[in-house]
Amino acid sequence: MKLEVKNLTGKSVGSVDLDDSIFGAEIHEHLLWEVVKWQLARRRAGTASTKRLGEVRGSAKKVWKQKGTGQARQGSRQAPHWVGGGSVKGPRPRSYDYALPRKAKKAALRAALSLRASESKIIVLDNFTTDGKTKTVYAALNSLGMKKLKGNALVVDAKTNENLVRASRNLASSQWLAPEGLNVYDILRHDTLVLTQASLDAIHAALGPKADKTETA
C-alpha cells in the first residue's frame, strides 16, 4: 500500500510504502473489542472498599441482655443491620487486570491500523517540527484537514520531539503518543491517525514480520 507523504502545510512531498501485513491485515472486530475491554480493565483503580464488622468503630459489648427485655436478641452494634455497622459482602480493593496473549494484542493493533488505512484516515508527515506552542500544532492539524473533517487526531512521533510533546498537552480533542505507546483504544477513539516517517519506521520494526521472527527465536 502506497501513501503520500505531506508536510505541515498539507502539501505532498513524496510517498511511502506501508507494510500490507500491518496496514492491510484482516480486521477482527471482536478482537478489537477484547483488547479495548482489557485496556479499560487495566485502567480501573479497584480502590472501592467497605468496612467489615471487625473494622468499624464502636464497642463490641452486647447491647442488652439476652432475655427478659421483650426485644429481639442483639449481639453488637457493629452488626450489619445497625446504623454504622459493618457491611456484608461489600467491595474490597482488587485488581481488574487479567492476562491477554501477546499475539492477540499485536493482531488487534494491526487490525486497528488496517481499519484506519481502509478508511483513508492515516496521514504521514515528513516531520512534525513546532515551536512548542499549542496554537501552532492546532493550526498544523487544521491545514491537514482536521477542521474540515470535524474530527480529532492521534499524533504519533518520538518522545524526543519535546516541543510537540509540550504543545500537545493542551489540545482539546487531539493527543500525542510515542510509537512505543501506540495502542488500540487510542487509535479507535480518534478519527485520524497522524504519523511521522520516523514513527512509521518504528511501527514497521515493532509489528512487521521480522519482529515476529525475533520473538519466536
Q: Does residue 30 share a domain with residue 85?
A: no
Residues 91 and 131 in one domain: no
- CATH code (residue 163): 3.40.1370.10
Q: Which residues contact 185 (CB under 8 A, 6 or more apart)?
A: 35, 36, 39, 40
For position 147, what pLDDT does the model report?
66
Q: Picking from 155-159, 196-200, 211-215, which range would have the lowest pLDDT averaged per residue?
A: 211-215
- Look at the chain and report how many structural domains it folds into: 2
Are 61 and 159 members of one domain?
no
Spatial CB neighbours of 173, under 8 Å, sequence gap ≥ 6: 152
Please give the pLDDT value at position 5. 92
Q: Determine contact, residues 184/39, Cβ cutoff 8 Å.
A: yes
Specify whether 89 is located in the same domain as 111: no
pLDDT at 143: 87
Last residue of a domain, one of 34, 64, 95: 95
Of the three residues 29, 61, 95, the one that is the final residue of a domain is 95
Please give the Cα distance from 94 to 6 (Å, whole number). Answer: 47
| pLDDT value of position 217 | 47
| Residue after which a domain boundary falls, among 26, 60, 95 | 95
For the whole model, what pTM was predicted? 0.82
In terms of domains, do 79 and 38 share one? no
pLDDT digits (tens, 9 = 90+) for 57-98: 888 889 999 999 999 999 888 999 998 899 998 999 999 999
- On whether both 37 and 71 belong to a single domain, the answer is no
Express each pLDDT in 11-59 by its tens digit.
Answer: 989 999 999 999 999 999 999 999 999 999 999 999 999 999 888 988 8
Which domain does 82 fall in, by range?
45-95
Interval 92-151: pLDDT, tens = 999 999 999 999 999 999 999 999 999 999 999 999 999 989 999 999 998 888 765 556
